[in-house]
Amino acid sequence: MIGKWKRAICLLIISMIWLNIPQKIEASVSVSASSAILIEQNSGRILYEKDAFTKRRIASITKIMTAILAIESGKLNETVKVSERASRAEGSSVFLKPGEKIKLEDLVYGLMLRSGNDAAVAIAEHVGGSIEGFVYLMNKKAEEIGMSNTHFANPHGLDDHEDHYSTAYDMALLTRYAMMNKKYREISGTKVYRAPNPDESWDRIWRNKNRLLTEMYEYCTGGKTGYTKRAKRTLVSTAEKDGMNLIAVTLNGPDDWNDHIHMYEMAFNNYKMAEILPKGMVKAVKNSFYKNHLYLNHPFLFPLTDQEKDKLRVEYKLIKPKKKWEKECGVSNIVGKAIVYLDEKMLASQPIYYRNSETNDESFFDFFRNIFTLVIGVKSNG
């Protein structure tokens, strides 16, 4: 139960904090896409954006949501019986046959690597009970993540509904969420997958359509392609270099492969991940009561340019020690916060903990106070 609460709170602050982070827009990048965005995955910082909040058709990058819901269902090892409706899905296909039985995990690989619309329908019917039931789950998850300008009407992205749309920003939010899942990262980054085919003498072999991953960009770690006549080319990709993890999204991008490469190269050439607050003991505090007792339970990393490093400032705010603490040995677990500023705009607020012989691992309620402090700090100072 506690794990579910932690996850829900994390999702809440993803959307609450992200828009309060000072943004560095790099104007030197030129992209062909109508909408584009580049973010650093861990911090959520937007490194580039072009019309990223406009609602547009998204085509098969819809399947990122379909994949993560299938993975989170806990049913990957279950066997799916393919329906007539699934086998008749239009567009790209993994050529499923009505009545055949296939593992849900294999369907997710076919969905992500080959963009199978038949796989999308089969997944939706198995996980959601019906396409309509699955679409309900898609929109509930979108709301949970904070995708406020998104509405899903199908599990594949075909142009069969007028109310199926998202934004580059929202799709970056979704991808950031999905990339927190180890299984999703594994599937998204797979170049070739062999799916058993018990009804035939040969296995299905699926090669990923994402050319950034398979041939064009050595730092690419995954993603999803998309195309329909009305949406045109859409693309989500991820990349990693020197500890920096990036997410790029383009909508209606005729030269999307190069769009993504250009955005990545701009970021990798201009930004570096800086450990602004290291995990462990806080040494900057000289107060005799607190000295050698204060610590941070996780580091704070943020992408910065060389010029921005000189504009950083860290402020430590501590509760004034109380005499009764010494008498009763009742020092509060959280005794203050470390606030990080960039050019006098707040980036983050992190709780400072007091360590003594009775200090245990962070409890759920301490975790909640941690998040509450962070949200309040951003709202009041951001």
268: buried, middle or exposed (CB in 10 Å: 19+, 13-18, 0-12)? middle
HSE-up (13 A, CA, CB side) for residue 193: 22
CA–CA gap between residue 59 and residue 326 (Å, rounded): 63
| CB-CB contact of 75 with 104 (8 Å) | yes
R_g (Cα) of the chain, nearest Å: 23
CA angle centred on 202, ends 201 and 208, rounded to 5°: 165
Q: Which of the residues 35, 43, 50, 63 is marked catalytic? A: 63
Cβ distance 196 to 231 under 8 Å? no
User: Does the annotation flag 224 for ligand binding?
Assistant: yes
Q: How far apart are alpha carbons 114 and 206 in whole angstroms? A: 7
The sign of the CA dihedral 219, 223, 227, 230 is negative
Coil/strand/helix, residue 304? strand
Q: Which of 60, 166, 237, 349 is catalytic?
A: 60
Residues in CB range of 128: below 8 A, 6 or more apart: 69, 134, 135, 136, 137
Q: Of 115, 166, 188, 349, which is the active-site residue? A: 115
Which of 120, 113, 112 lies closest to 80, judged by CA? 120
The answer to whether 357 is a known catalytic residue is: no
Residue 359's Cβ-side half-sphere holds a number of Cα atoms within 13 Å equal to 16
CA–CA gap between residue 18 and residue 2 (Å, rounded): 24
Chain position carrying tokens 């006098």: 344
Q: Does 4 participate in catalysis according to the annotation?
A: no
Contact partners, residue 35, CB within 8 Å, separation at least 6: 50, 51, 52, 54, 56, 167, 168, 249, 250, 251, 252
Cα separation of 120 and 141, whole Å? 17
Is 63 among the catalytic positions? yes
Residues acting as catalytic residues: 60, 63, 115
Known binding-site positions for substrate: 224
Known binding-site positions: 224
